[in-house]
C-alpha cells in the first residue's frame, strides 16, 4: 500500500485526497459494472487513499453495499464516511432529519456496509422541519452507542455549523467547492478553520466539466447533471469556454486541468480535503499525482483570476435541489 501525504479530519488522519464513491453507482452516466467498481475501490486503497465517502442516498443503498463488499476485508486500513437524512423514502429521494429517521437509516447503513461502526457520519442536508440541534442530538446518541465515531454536516451554512457545534464538536463540513463554486469562501471555510472542523470538498473538478469530462453535447439523458442549469443550454457553451481557459493554464503549468483544481483546493487551507470521484483508474491516479507537485502562490492566484464568483453561467442547482441546500449564496448569484 502506497503512503500519501495526510490531513486531519476530526480524530482521523486521512490521505490528503480522498475518494467520493457516489459516481460508481449513482447520479452520473455511464456507470461501471460491479466488478470494475470494486476494482477501482481496491486500487484506490492500494494507491494510498485512506478516506472513502459514501451515503445512504447513493443508489438507494447500492453504493454502501458496493463499498462494504469491495473493502470489507480491509476495514482497518481506511476511514469510512457515510451520510443520513437524504435517503430513499417510498421509492423516492426523500429528506427526513428526525431522530427516528436518522436512527433507522444508520442501522440500514451499518448492515449494507457490513460494519458495526462508521467512522464519520454526516447529516447529508438540513431538514428545515427539524431543528439542527435535534438531528445532531440523534448522532450524539449514536456516537455514545459506539455506532459512529465523529459527526459531520453537508451543504450547510456557517450559522448552522455554529448551532450544531454548540451541541457537539463537528468533525467535518462537506460542501461543493471548486474553482467555479466559491460559495464556501463567503463564511463556511473560515468558520471551519475557527472551530477546528475539516472542510471536505466534494465535486472538486466541477462534476467532471472542469476536467474535460463534458463536451458541447452535454451529458446523457438520465444523468443528474442534465437537470443542473450549468450543464445545459444556454449555459453550457459559456462554461466550456471557461474550461478552455483552464486547459490553457494547465498546459502552461505542465499539469492537467483536474490537477489544477485539486492543487488549488489544497492551497486553500490545511483543513481542506478534496474527495474527487471517478470511475476511471487512470483518472484516479492522475488525481493522486497532484500530491507530488508544488503549488506556488502565483499559480493558485492565476486559477483564482480565471474564476471570479460571477464567471460560471447559470445556477449551480435546479430549483428543487437548491431548496435543500443551506449554504450561503453571493449577492446576485443566479438561483434556479
* Overall size of the chain counted in residues: 336
* Alpha-carbon gap, residue 178 to 176, rounded angstroms: 7
Enter the C-alpha cell of residue 310.
460571477
* Alpha-carbon gap, residue 322 to 55, rounded angstroms: 19
Considering Cα of 191, then 197, then 203, then 204, what sign does the dihedral take?
A: positive
Q: Which residue has the cell 457490513?
A: 114
- CB-based contacts of 79, cutoff 8 Å, min separation 6: 9, 12, 14, 50, 51, 52, 119, 120
Strand partners, 13: 8
Known catalytic residues are: 58
Of 65, 169, 178, whose CA–CA distance to 120 is shortest? 169
Q: Which residue has the cell 440541534?
A: 133
Cβ pair 64, 92 in contact under 8 A: no
Cβ pair 183, 327 in contact under 8 A: yes
* Residue ranges in 145-221 assigned as alpha helix (H): 158-167, 188-195
Cβ pair 123, 136 in contact under 8 A: yes
Half-sphere exposure of 176 (CA within 13 A, CB side): 19
Amino acid at each position: 500500500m502506497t503512503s500519501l501525504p495526510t490531513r486531519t479530519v476530526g480524530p482521523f488522519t486521512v490521505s490528503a485526497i480522498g475518494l467520493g464513491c457516489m459516481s460508481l453507482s449513482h447520479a452520473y452516466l455511464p456507470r461501471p459494472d460491479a466488478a470494475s467498481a470494486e476494482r477501482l475501490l481496491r486500487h484506490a486503497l492500494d494507491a494510498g487513499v485512506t478516506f472513502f465517502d459514501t451515503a445512504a442516498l447513493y443508489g438507494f443503498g447500492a453504493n454502501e453495499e458496493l463499498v462494504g463488499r469491495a473493502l470489507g476485508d480491509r476495514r482497518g486500513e481506511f476511514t469510512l464516511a457515510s451520510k443520513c437524512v437524504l435517503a430513499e423514502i417510498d421509492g423516492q429521494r426523500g429528506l427526513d432529519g428526525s431522530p427516528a429517521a436518522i436512527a433507522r437509516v444508520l442501522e440500514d447503513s451499518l448492515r449494507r456496509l457490513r460494519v458495526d461502526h462508521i467512522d464519520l457520519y454526516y447529516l447529508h442536508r438540513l431538514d428545515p422541519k427539524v431543528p439542527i440541534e435535534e438531528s445532531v442530538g440523534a448522532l450524539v446518541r449514536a456516537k455514545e452507542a459506539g455506532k459512529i465515531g465523529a459527526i459531520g454536516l453537508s451543504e450547510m451554512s456557517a450559522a448552522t455549523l455554529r448551532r450544531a457545534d454548540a451541541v457537539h464538536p463537528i468533525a467535518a463540513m462537506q460542501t461543493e467547492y471548486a474553482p467555479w463554486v466559491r460559495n464556501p469562501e463567503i463564511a463556511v471555510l473560515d468558520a471551519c478553520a475557527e472551530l477546528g472542523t475539516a472542510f471536505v470538498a466534494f465535486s472538486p473538478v466541477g462534476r467532471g466539466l472542469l476536467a474535460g469530462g463534458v463536451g458541447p453535447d452535454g451529458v446523457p439523458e438520465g444523468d443528474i447533471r442534465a437537470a443542473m442549469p450549468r450543464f445545459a443550454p444556454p449555459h453550457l457553451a459559456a462554461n466550456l469556454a471557461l474550461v478552455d481557459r483552464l486547459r490553457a493554464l494547465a498546459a502552461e503549468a505542465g499539469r492537467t486541468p483536474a490537477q489544477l483544481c485539486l492543487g488549488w483546493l489544497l492551497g486553500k487551507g490545511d483543513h481542506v480535503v478534496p474527495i474527487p470521484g471517478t470511475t476511471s483508474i487512470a483518472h484516479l491516479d492522475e488525481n493522486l499525482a497532484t500530491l507530488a507537485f508544488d503549488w506556488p502562490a502565483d499559480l493558485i492566484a492565476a486559477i483564482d483570476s480565471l474564476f471570479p464568483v460571477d464567471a460560471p453561467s447559470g445556477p449551480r442547482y435546479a430549483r428543487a435541489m437548491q431548496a435543500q441546500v443551506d449554504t450561503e449564496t453571493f449577492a446576485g448569484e443566479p438561483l434556479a
